[in-house]
Amino acid sequence: MQITEQDHQRLIDFYKESLRRNRSNNSKAVHWSGPRDQLSRFNALCRISDLSGQGVLDVGCGLGDLYDFLDKNFKGFNYLGIDIVPDMIENAQKNYPQAKFELADIYNFLPGECDYVLASGSLTFNVSQGKAFYYQMIAQMYRVAKKGVAFNMLDQKYYDPDQDFLVYSPEEVMPVLENITKNYKIIFGYVPGDFTVHLLK
C-alpha cells in the first residue's frame, strides 16, 4: 500500500513548515518534545541487538539523528537513512555528510536486504488509509529485515488522536504483530506516552 499523492504532499508541507520554525532544534523539527526524549527513544529501539557490524536501515530518518546515536554507541555498522520528504534528506545529508541518505520508502527494498530495520516516529503521521497503511508498512519492514525490526508508537493512554498524528494501544497492535511473528516484545517506561516494539526473526 503506497501513500497517496495528497498525503505525501501533506507530509512534505507539514515538515517543511516544522523545519522553518525549528531550524536550530532537530528534535523539535521532527516533532519530538526534546533531545532527551529523542535519545531515550533511540536507546529503546537499539536495545534490539548489538548493532555493531550490522546493516541498519533507518525508515523515516528525518534529520538523521539516529545515525549520530548509532555512531556513538556501535562500531562498524552500515547505515542507510531513507525518507519520503526531500527536505529531510537534504538536511540530514548536511547534518551528517559521512552517512548515506536516500529519498525512498520501504517498498523500494527487497526481502532480506538489510540486517535490522529501525523506525523512530515513522508510524504516526495521520494518512487517509489510517492504521492499515502502517500495519502493512510494518509487515514490509519485517520482510526487508534479515534479523529484526524496531519501531515506536504513540500511546493512546497519553494522547488523543488528531488530524496530524495517530495513536495506538498495545492491545490493538498485538494481533497485528502476531500475524507477522510470535517472536516480539513491547517495551514501556522509557518515555511517557510512547512504547517500542521489537520484532525478531
Give the whole-angstrom CA distance, residue 178 versus residue 50.
24
For the domain bounded by 5-200, which CATH number is listed?
Answer: 3.40.50.150
Give the whole-angstrom CA distance, residue 134 versus residue 102.
20
Contacts of 57 (CB under 8 A, 6+ apart): 80, 82, 106, 109, 113, 114, 116, 117, 118, 144, 145
Q: Where are the domains of the chain?
A: 5-200
pLDDT at 22: 66
DSSP 113: -
Enter the C-alpha cell of residue 56.
541498519
Q: What is the mean pLDDT of each run of 10 residues along the chain (201 residues)?
A: 91 85 53 75 98 98 96 98 95 96 97 97 91 97 98 93 88 97 97 96 96
